[in-house]
């Protein structure tokens, strides 16, 4: 979910955020989603889940970078 979200935000750029700002924003979103799980019966908040979500953010940003690179290469030909 976080990979798709970060890819979409990096490619569409609906906000004027730097890459670091996008990582911070999505990292905060991951942390808040884990805290909200504390209030749901049968759900447990874990720090490992935040790390996995962060990995998804990084993967999405890498894919967005590759997408942008491929688009620039195609345009230059």
Mean pLDDT of 8-19: 88
pTM, two decimals, is 0.84
Tokens of 30: 């991951």
Whole-angstrom Cα distance, residue 70 to residue 45?
A: 38
By residue range, what is the domain housing residue 31? 2-76
| Band of pLDDT at residue 71, cut at 50, 70 and 90 | confident
pLDDT in tens, 22-62: 999 999 999 999 999 999 999 888 999 999 999 999 999 99
pLDDT at 8: 93
Number of domains in the chain: 1
pLDDT at 73: 80
- Dihedral over alpha carbons 58, 63, 66, 71 (to 10 degrees): -140
């Amino acid at each position: 979910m976080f990979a798709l979200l970060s890819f979409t935000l990096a490619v569409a750029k609906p906000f004027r955020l730097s890459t670091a700002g996008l990582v911070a924003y999505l990292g905060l979103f991951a942390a808040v989603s884990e805290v909200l799980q504390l209030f749901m019966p049968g759900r447990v908040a874990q720090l490992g889940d935040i790390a996995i979500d962060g990995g998804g953010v990084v993967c999405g940003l890498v894919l967005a970078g590759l997408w942008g690179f491929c688009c620039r290469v195609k345009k230059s030909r």
